[in-house]
Amino acid sequence: SDLQKQEERGELLQPLIFVLLVLCSILLYFKVSLMDPGFVKPEEEEGEDKGQGVVIPQIPGDIKLRRCGYCLVKQPMRAKHCQLCQHCVRRYDHHCPWLENCVGERNHPLFIVYLSVQLVVLLWGGHVAWSGLYFEQSREWLQHNIFLLVSFLLIFIFTIVVLLLLVSHLYLISCNTTTWEFMSHHRISYLRHSELENPFDQGIILNLWRFFC
């Protein structure tokens, strides 16, 4: 049959890989959006102060961990309360409206993987849409190809958004800082009173290693 011939020629491999990537991106989306991003729980308060000076020796010792004014838990270093999630989140990065969840200590690496897979899917889909276009200056051609044109434009816009988001996050990760810390540096006590501009930066390689591994 034609299907068997296509399989023998390897023509079904690329569509299969594309479908698997799409399914992978969907699963990653639900995983990142539904998982605990690193909520601070009241029973975890004991021992929060231990090891802070060893991990980040550049932080002034007179900066005390404070209790959250909303959920009343003692906030670890780099945690922030999210009013949308009604929880304090460890190593808070931002609240993502696409996911309806915070991006924090536990799901941030998976969020980067999700963006990477989504970017591959968008680039592949954009290539497929572009390869199906054969430009002619006629009204009939426009009527027959309007769907492909709109699809390509939408894919192009989403590709730019995802690419910029991924690049910005990789840059912040390589500096060992978060979106919240980058945007609100002047308002965060442990950064404002630190002698270094970024006391958490331990070099690009070690920053990436500790984040992903």
The mean pLDDT values, 10 residues at a time, for the chain of 213 residues are 57 85 96 95 62 46 72 89 93 94 96 97 88 65 75 92 97 96 89 85 94 91
First to last CA, the chain: 48
Q: Is residue 129 part of a domain?
A: yes
Q: Is residue 205 part of a domain?
A: yes
Domain that holds residue 22: 8-35+104-210
**pLDDT tens digit sequence for 65-82:** 778 888 888 888 899 999
For residue 148, the model assigns a pLDDT of: 78
Quick check: helix, strand or coil at residue 96? strand
For residue 8, the model assigns a pLDDT of: 56
Q: Annotated catalytic, 102? A: no
212 vs 173: CA distance, rounded Å: 10
Rounded to two decimals, what is the model's pTM?
0.83
Q: How many domains does the chain have?
A: 1
For residue 44, the model assigns a pLDDT of: 66
Catalytic residue among 96, 102, 175, 213: 96
Using the Cα atoms of residue 7, residue 8, residue 9 and residue 10 in order, give the sign of their dihedral: positive
Alpha helices in 103-192 (DSSP H): 108-131, 139-174, 179-183, 189-192
For residue 189, the model assigns a pLDDT of: 84
For residue 172, the model assigns a pLDDT of: 97
For residue 173, the model assigns a pLDDT of: 97
Q: Is residue 119 part of a domain?
A: yes
77 vs 178: CA distance, rounded Å: 12
For residue 104, the model assigns a pLDDT of: 96
Q: Is residue 130 part of a domain?
A: yes
